[in-house]
Amino acid sequence: MILLTFNIIPVVAKTKGNVFLDDYERLKILEANVKSLLIILDIHETKVTFFIEISIVEKLLNLIKAISSQGHEVAFYNKDSTQQSIEDVKKMTEDLLEKNIRGIREKKVTLSWDLVKNFGFNYISNIDNANILFPFKRLKRDTEIIEKMGISIIPESISPYSQLPYNDFVFQVLPMKYYQNMVFETLKNDDFVLIYLDVWQFTNLEKYHFDIPFYRKYNSGKKMEDKLEEFLTWINQKEMATSRMKDYLF
């Protein structure tokens, strides 16, 4: 099973020269990226999970409704939100969609098990920091889903052969043929492959003059859209199964 997920988090990178983008303009860039992704996913009849950073949920309600109405799962990404914010935003979103929000993802912070359970989440999908060196370190860790206090804990997937994780950076820089082979070989060994991408990777970085490292610009924007299209086409041709996180787990 291929679990394809996207993180919707604010673009915090600085801009070059005299260019200035306020928070509203940055959110509009994310919205435009997501709308393009929804078209691509619809064409390829693929359902995914979007993890939306809690601090911007209230500003993206129409977009969240569009994501859910097209059959994709809405989950949360916790960067550094307070307990009250998480609780309030979860209730607001569930009232809006008339659906339970089951999943949460974190990177640099970790909620206690008691809080996760009290908030009503059913699974945690934590991810690691992806800088220029980390994705290419050979890693050894358990990739099995475990349960604790009734909560499913989904680890990052790692290729059992190359030992590369399936994070946003690896998808962006690896040749697609190599990446496809990695997925194919992993599914021979594991029940699922969890892939995550960041919506900001689909931004035309030159157009908005974002000042980011050269290795993060590589294959970004339209090239990322093309890579995603190629990947989804390959998945359909090989008749590989895809799933939203909640459907696979429950």
191: region left, alpha or beta (phi > 0 left; psi from -120 to 50 alpha): alpha
Q: Which domain holds residue 39?
A: 2-249
Q: In angstroms, how far is CA 19 from the centroid of its own chain?
A: 28
76: region left, alpha or beta (phi > 0 left; psi from -120 to 50 alpha): beta
Sheet hosting strand 73-78, strand order edge to edge:
146-148, 151-153, 123-124, 103-106, 73-78, 49-53, 2-8, 193-198
Tell me the per-residue pLDDT of 224-246, one tens digit each, with 9 for 90 and over: 999 999 999 999 999 999 999 99
- Distance from C-alpha of 28 to C-alpha of 143, rounded to nearest angstrom: 36
Confidence band, pLDDT 50/70/90 cuts, at residue 207: confident
The residues near 112 (Cβ < 8 Å, ≥ 6 apart) are: none
Tell me the per-residue pLDDT of 2-50, one tens digit each, with 9 for 90 and over: 999 999 998 887 878 777 888 899 999 999 999 999 999 999 999 999 9
Residue 38 in 3-state DSSP? helix
Count of structural domains within the chain: 1
The residues near 161 (Cβ < 8 Å, ≥ 6 apart) are: 182, 185, 186
Tell me the per-residue pLDDT of 57-86, one tens digit each, with 9 for 90 and over: 999 999 999 999 999 999 999 998 999 999
Q: Which amino acid is at 61?
A: L
Q: What is the mean pLDDT of residues 79-107?
A: 95
CATH of the domain at 65: 3.20.20.370
Please report the pLDDT score of residue 141 as a whole number: 56
To the nearest 10 degrees (0 to 180), the angle between helices 176-189 and 222-237 is 40
Instruction: Of 38-47, 57-66, 99-108, 202-211, give the lowest mean pLDDT range.
Output: 202-211
